[in-house]
Structure 1
Amino acid sequence: MSMSEVDRHSTTYPFIEPERFTGALQGQIALVTGAGRGIGRAIALAFARAGANVICVARTKEEIEQVVEQIAERGHPDAIAICADVSDDSDLCRVIGTAGKVFQPIDILVNNAGIDRIGSFEHEANFSDWWRVFEVNMKGPAALTHHVLPGMISRGSGIVINIGSRNAIHNHPFMTAYSASKASLLRFHQCIHLELQGTNVRTFYVQPGDVKTTLMVASYNQEEMLKVPRLQAMVDDMRDTMERDESNSPDLAANTCVALAADPGTHVLSGLYLDATQDLGQIIARVNDGKEGQG
């Protein structure tokens, strides 16, 4: 059975069931970016359920404050909301500074914040907007990792999880900025994994599946689509898929992230590209059997 033949899931399944990890991360500090909605919100709630104190970071203050309120209402450990742009250096310094004052150093970093831009590169009207996708999707995760990594290495433990995309390994037209930024993040993750060998700090790259989010909202230009029929067809197909609700639950990626942080058996997956829709237990078994290489 090849990796492509392992069981696939669209929502939580036994190996990543939240009940397995209730309280497993007690006392740990998890920082989650893009925590105000969609996958990020689900990740923040999942880590709180597992006992971690959660630092919720996003640009929209009201959304992350609501997530923190939900965590408190459910009787989970402490959580704080920090409004910040992950592409802004001063904002990231403030996030790390606040985290250090309120909690202990960060044990788990989940780089989830991301933006998309759908359009023809030929007709790109504002290259700065195109490049901003890299600022958020690549610079943000790298900068935050740079902030937390020395402490993790000195303590001899730590988890970095990057929320990626299948666009990192599959080619798609009209998504040059998004696909290239996620491919860059994947290669960053793979190279950092090699540097971290022997440190007990682990890095994971998780493709969350097809999750209905607001990522593509306002990421394309209606006038541009009139110039490029193929672009219009692709956007229509993406809309149809979401309307048919042919999507994966955000809890699938969220509970996968918790399992990666809480289950020591997942350590063998550090450095790999992981698809959240594939059965994590089966992937671990294959790696342990030597049927799939690492890194």
Structure 2
Amino acid sequence: MKGIIFITGATAGFGEAMARKFASEGYDLIITGRREERLEQVQKELIEQYGIKVLPLIFDVRNKEAVNTIIPMIPEAWQNIDVLINNAGLALDFSTIDEGNMDDWDTMIDTNVKGLLYVSRNVIPWMKARKKGHIINIGSTAAKHVYQKGNVYCATKHAVDALSQAMRIDLLPYHIKVTAIHPGAAETEFSLVRFKGDAGKAANVYKGFEPLHAEDVAQVAYFCTTLPPHVCINDLVITPTQQANAYYTYKETD
């Protein structure tokens, strides 16, 4: 067993892809998610395919009480977490700020910012005690540039960027690495969730160019954990070749 990786939002997209990548490299996994059936299916597949150990934790990162109850109760043998990947996140709504849906705002802030904090607050003390660990926070190109109608989502990812910098400062005495990975356009459930199940709108986002795939981001996350103990990639932006930043994308036309 090489170590233990803790991944939030592991039922689909980046989270699932990262779980599969680390499992293929022989790591044991703690995976979290809201969808119990899907999480257990991922657990079963990883164990059967790679012969590793997998601990599934079913909770919503937005639920502070659940996070503060479930994580501290994991068995002691699972508490030696080598890498925490704060992946759970989402975008909802695509409108000007004066027409935004306040419930969607709450969901994004509670998931992307507060959820990351709740999970980190519970895991970091174990890393501090060992003076060892690596935290990877999944941000977005939206953390670097604000785009039209992205307002609150962009604000949450700017917060992830700021929190990553703050963690890096606060955890310096404990030799804990902190890496922020900011993916650009990636074809996962992201746009389908943002447009609330409208498959046509979701597909149109990626029309005319090849977007990132979840496996691309998983490969980058894994690479960041393979560097020597004295080396840390602090901040990394990854985009498709035809995307320059959050709002410049070149799309081929028929």
TM range (shorter): 0.7 to 0.9
Q: Alpha-carbon deviation of 1:160? A: 0.5
- Name the amino acid aligned to 1:132: T
Change (3 A) 1:50 1:94: farther
Residue aligning to 2:204: 240
Distance of 2:208 and 2:20 partners within structure 1 = 26
1:229-253 per-position Cα deviation (integer Å, ceiling 9, x unaligned): xxxxxx95x6424244621121111
Which of 74, 93, 108 is the matching residue for 1:133?
108
State yes or no: 1:253 paired with 2:217: yes
| Partner Cα distance (2:209, 2:48) in 1 | 29
How many residue pairs match? The answer is 237
What is the CA distance between 1:80 and its match in structure 2? Answer: 2.1
Which of residues 30, 34, 38 is equivalent to 2:5?
30
Q: Structure 1's 260 and 221: CA in aligned 2 closer, same or farther, altered over 3 A? A: closer
- Specify the structure having the higher radius of gyration (Cα): 1
Q: How much has 1:158 moved relative to structure 2?
A: 0.5
CA shift for structure 1 position 73: 1.7
Aligned partners of 1:128, 1:240: CA distance in 2, in Å?
A: 25
Match of 1:151 among 115, 126, 136: 126
- 1:83 CA drift (Å): 1.5
Task: Report the 3-state secondary structure (helix = DSSP H, G, I; strand = E; otherwise coil) of the residue aligned with 1:262.
Answer: coil
The Cα shift of 1:274 comes to: 0.4
Tell me, in whole angstroms, the C-alpha distance in 2 between the residues paired with 1:42 and 1:167. 21
Q: Which residue of 2 aligns with 1:21?
A: none
Alpha-carbon offset, residue 265 of structure 1: 6.7
Match of 1:74 in 2: 49
- In the alignment, which residue of structure 2 is the partner of 1:166? 141
Query: CA contact under 8 A between 1:259 and 1:266: conserved in structure 2?
Result: no
TM-score, normalised to structure 2, is: 0.85
Q: Secondary structure of the equivalent of 1:67?
A: helix
| Structure 1 match to 2:156 | 181
Deviation at 1:218, TM superposition (A): 4.5
Please say if 1:107 is aligned against 2:82.
Answer: yes
CA distance in 1, matches of 2:90, 2:213: 19
Structure 1 residue 276: Cα displacement: 3.4
- Name stretches of at least 5 consecutive residues in structure 2 with no aligned partner: 241-254
Q: Tell me: higher relative CO, structure 1 or 2? Use CA pairs within 8 A at least 6 residues apart.
A: 1
Match of 1:262 among 202, 207, 226: 226
Taking the aligned partners of 1:221 and 1:41, their CA distance within structure 2 comes to 21
Cα drift, residue 166 of structure 1? 0.3
Preserved contact between residue 36 and residue 67 of structure 1 (Cα < 8 Å): yes
Deviation at residue 161 of structure 1 after TM alignment: 0.4
- Determine the C-alpha separation between the residues in 1 that align with 2:158 and 2:89: 13
Change (3 A) 1:31 1:153: same
* Alpha-carbon shift at residue 88 of structure 1 (Å): 0.6
Match of 2:237 among 275, 291, 295: 275
Query: Please, what is the CA RMSD of the aligned residues?
Result: 2.3
